[in-house]
Amino acid sequence: MDLLDIARWQFGITTVYHFLMVPLTIGLAVLVAGMQTAWYRTGKLRYLKMTKFWGKLLLINFAMGVVTGIVQEFQFGMAWSAYSRFVGDVFGAPLAMEGLLAFFVESTFLGLWIFGWDRLSKGVHLACVWAFSLASVLSAYFILAANSWMQHPVGVEVVDGRPRLSSIWAVLTNNTVLAAFPHTIFGCFAVAGSFLIGIAAWQIARHHRRSGADDEDRRAWHGSMRLGAWVAVVAFAGLAISGDVQGKLMFEQQPMKMASAEALCHSEAPASFSVFAIGDVARSNCEDVKSFTVPYVLSYLANGDFHSEVEGVHALVPQYQEAYGTHYPDDPRLGRLAGQPIDYVPNLPVTYWGFRFMIGFGALAALGAVAVLWLTRRQRFPEGRWWAPLAVLAIGLPFAGNIAGWVFTEMGRQPFVVVPNPDPSGIDGVWMFTAQAVSAGATPGELLTSVITLTALYGVLAVVEVFLMVRYVRGGFEAVMPPEQPEDSESGGALSFAY
């Protein structure tokens, strides 16, 4: 493996890992804020228990999201310094905005929320959890604006061969981010919804199946489960709508990505949507692949018209070659790629299956959520023993869908790190090959060291996080509702919450 491969693996591993924590944090934070609001307004103990229980799991997860986020910011400079120099004028601005306008709020108000249970008035304390959760949503917006610029550069002019920011407004209202943001946020809620369903189902099955409907805890678990199911169903509807908008944009902005998402070799009119395929989709002659298709659907997905033409990989390659060259420059910093022909087709199996797994896992989770809504109507709970374990397993579905979606998005834009956009809304003439983006100053040994140590540490921490989560889930409400402590008149009371 050379520097480029290692750097790409590192980016993939650290990003995917980071993005396991982030959606759960964002979705769960808003839901916990909602639970605390319910407690604030009604004063019912079960809402307090829900707030504390789900809040504790949120904290366990948040810690990991934060610490893995620093790696994300640093590695642009560490492993991708040529990229940083090229796009710094544009890309750094949303990153700095995320820090100043969102991340400071997030971290400060989380501290206030954790330690403020007995120090702040109820209203102010509630405001803290809302500030924290809304800032984490805002944080996602800035990061997605930065990422969307790489998918669809806007708001810049080219000076001395480098993009120079000419309108920050254009970057922040890029149609790509306006589509990607709701899609990602709905993805976060799908994760949080399934998380609530799985854990609450397990609790009811384990402890509360036989207790009556008046049991307060059982009602809290049941309520959590229904809340999770509603959230997941609404989130999936949002995912479908925003995904369709995003897809149409991408057919326009990155036709190669979408053609490879379909493993569509030859242009078709009308084009059929491939549901799944048997055989090696990477073979570009397409003859050996048995694809199970639905006619007209791809035309609709691409253009909103059931009969329109969709361009295939073979038709697109010459267009890309004409616009962006046939060979990499003969620069020794490109390593083994220097002077080599440019392969404009992304990894087909990854894009093809990434796209299908994203939709498939998401749809499966949504079906499960609909089933939960039906099965738990009017305080009911299904009798079967298989039920709760299945709900626990289903927690993984939207996670897998999210990951597949990101892998598809990022791998689908290869060989570019900044994708050129020939369409009228984008700026043609700004692009960068991934091979040109990597740090020339760092050595493969340094990058390999970091891939190995980070992956090992992430592996250990994943075990620790799951271990702690399981412990707190088993502990249920009792583990998060501390027993009354004797009042210490001298000190004015102990901290009700402390490390």
The residues in 104-123 that bind another protein, with binding defined as CB under 8 A, are 104-105, 107-112, 114-116, 119-120
Distance spanning both ends of the chain, measured CA to CA: 44
Report DSSP state, residue 485.
P
What are the distances in angstroms from CA 281 to CA 61, 287, 337, 487?
Answer: 37, 9, 25, 69
Least distance in Å: CB of 468 to another protein?
5
Binding residues for another protein, rule CB under 8 A, total 87
Give the residue, chosen from 24, 28, 78, 366, that forms a contact with another protein under the rule CB under 8 A.
Answer: 78
Decide if residue 461 touches another protein (CB under 8 A): yes
Decide if residue 85 touches another protein (CB under 8 A): yes
Decide if residue 459 touches another protein (CB under 8 A): no
What are the distances in angstroms from CA 479 to CA 111, 125, 476, 483?
Answer: 21, 22, 6, 10
Decide if residue 475 touches another protein (CB under 8 A): yes
Least distance in Å: CB of 355 to another protein?
32
Least distance in Å: CB of 191 to another protein?
20
The span of 71-79, 193-201, 339-347, 356-364 binding another protein (CB under 8 A) equals 71-79
Q: Do residues 274 and 263 touch, judged by C-beta distance below 8 A?
A: yes
Least distance in Å: CB of 114 to another protein?
7
Distance of CA 232 to the CA centre of its chain: 15
Decide if residue 498 touches another protein (CB under 8 A): yes
Q: Do residues 194 and 228 touch, judged by C-beta distance below 8 A?
A: yes
Helix axes 3-42, 122-151, angle to 10 degrees: 150
Decide if residue 483 touches another protein (CB under 8 A): yes
79 CB-side CA count, 13 A: 27
Least distance in Å: CB of 147 to another protein?
15
CA–CA separation, 262 and 409 (whole Å):
13
Least distance in Å: CB of 461 to another protein?
6
* Binding mask of the shown chain, residues 430 to 449, with x at each position contacting another protein by CB under 8 A: ---------xxxxx--xx-x
Residues 178/184/190/193 CA torsion (nearest 10 deg): -90
Q: Which is nearer to another protein, 95 or 256 (CB)?
A: 95
**Helix, coil or strand: residue 156:** strand
Report residue 123 as tokens.
Answer: 């209203």
Decide if residue 41 touches another protein (CB under 8 A): no
**Helix, coil or strand: residue 424:** coil
148 CB-side CA count, 13 A: 28
The span of 26-34, 354-362, 424-432, 464-472 binding another protein (CB under 8 A) equals 464-472
* Identity of residue 71: V
Least distance in Å: CB of 432 to another protein?
13
User: According to CB under 8 A, which residues from 116 to 175 bind another protein?
Assistant: 116, 119-120, 159, 164-166, 168
Decide if residue 1 touches another protein (CB under 8 A): no
Give the residue, chosen from 95, 177, 199, 395, that forms a contact with another protein under the rule CB under 8 A.
Answer: 95
What are the distances in angstroms from CA 260 to CA 83, 255, 306?
Answer: 25, 9, 20
User: According to CB under 8 A, which residues from 179 to 218 bind another protein?
Assistant: none
Decide if residue 220 touches another protein (CB under 8 A): no
Least distance in Å: CB of 62 to another protein?
8
